[in-house]
Structure 1
Amino acid sequence: MVIPGGPQGIEATMALKTLVLFSLLVLGLLVIVGAQPPAFKRFQERHMDTGPGPFDPPYCNKTMYQRNLLKRNFNTFVHESLKDVHDVCWEENYIFKNRTCNNCHKSSNRMSITECSIIGRNPIRYRTKNSKKYIVIACDGIWPVHFDGSE
């Protein structure tokens, strides 16, 4: 029997509060994940690789094939944490290559990237070039959705 105000009642109340707080946290995370635009997932698939790098010459051939990006003549992979790339969306708007882009942002620091350039079509082969550059991305609100380039 639980006596209100007794030690068992206090433990039951604390357990209930903990359960409610945990449930709210899980619900909040689900809402955040569900609110991500589909373009953000495409951005991750096409441009994110949090591996440490630098990468050897076969990297682009292997990665472009694994991610089904073989129709692209050029692609860039960013080797930074998703948080660091996500933070670029908080930078001020940036005009890149004299284009009007209301939602472009340039990283405040150089980031580790790998550029993949097509060098052969039969079979498809890519050149792998590792470097550290500023990245320019377009954001949908707070979500990176398009890799616009690097400089």
Structure 2
Amino acid sequence: MVMALGPLLLIFMLGLGVTPPTLAQDDSRYQRFLTRHYDAKPLGRNDRYCETMMRRRGMTSPCKDTNTFVHGNKKKIKAICEAKNGRPYGDNFRISTSAFQVTTCKHIGGSPLPPCRYRATAGLRNIVVACEGGLPVHFDESFFVSNKHSTDQS
């Protein structure tokens, strides 16, 4: 009986050794999403905010053309990947059912080399993300929220 358990125990132990890197990889994509697109409580949402945040978050060498920062609660953002705050949108994406405060930063300089200059656009929007393992890993787009439920893309 003990001999028969030996190979099973070995397979089980090997499985444990393989699982954590897979989970860590999923978490690293989520962490990258947060670094690029999440700022809970912004101090101002103007051009200076964009220039500072883009530099702090490592998106100015070369100057990234456009980036959106989502403000608020991380749990609400994660919930887009579930029925709690999201629904399917297109192929492999989810759109939030609640709106988020966002700041979109658009590069306004001619050169992709620093110093990078950005124009800020702040607004309340539904956001579209790609999810893996129940976590957002890619910001795709956002839509202005209006009383008419407009879907003006930006």
Q: How does the TM-score come out when normalised to structure 1?
A: 0.69
* Displacement of 1:141: 2.4
Aligned length: 114
1:88 match? 80
1:116 match? 105
1:42 match? 32
- Deviations for 1:55-112, whole angstroms, at most 9, x for unmatched residues? 23300000000111113100000002110100010123111xxxxx22x110101110
Question: Which stretch of the first structure deviates more once superposed, 34-43 or 121-130?
Answer: 34-43
Identical aligned residues as a percent: 34
1:56 match? 46
- The letter for the 1-side match of 2:131 is C
* 1:78 and 2:73 aligned: no
* Displacement of 1:125: 0.3
Instruction: Give the RMSD, CA atoms, in angstroms.
Output: 1.9
Alpha-carbon spacing, 1:118–1:35, altered in 2? closer, same or farther (3 Å): closer
SS in 1 for 2:51: helix
Distance 1:48 1:123 in 2: 22
Name the larger-Rg structure.
1
1:3 match? none
SS in 2 for 1:134: strand
Contact kept? 1:54, 1:130, Cα under 8 Å: no
Alpha-carbon spacing, 1:141–1:147, altered in 2? closer, same or farther (3 Å): same
* Displacement of 1:34: 4.8
1:129 match? 121
Any runs of at least 4 consecutive aligned residues in structure 1 with deviations exceeding 2 A, and if so which? 33-37
SS in 1 for 2:141: strand
- The letter for the 2-side match of 1:48 is Y
1:20-39 map, 5 Å: 34=24, 36-39=26-29
Q: 2:136 aligns with which of 112, 121, 144?
A: 144
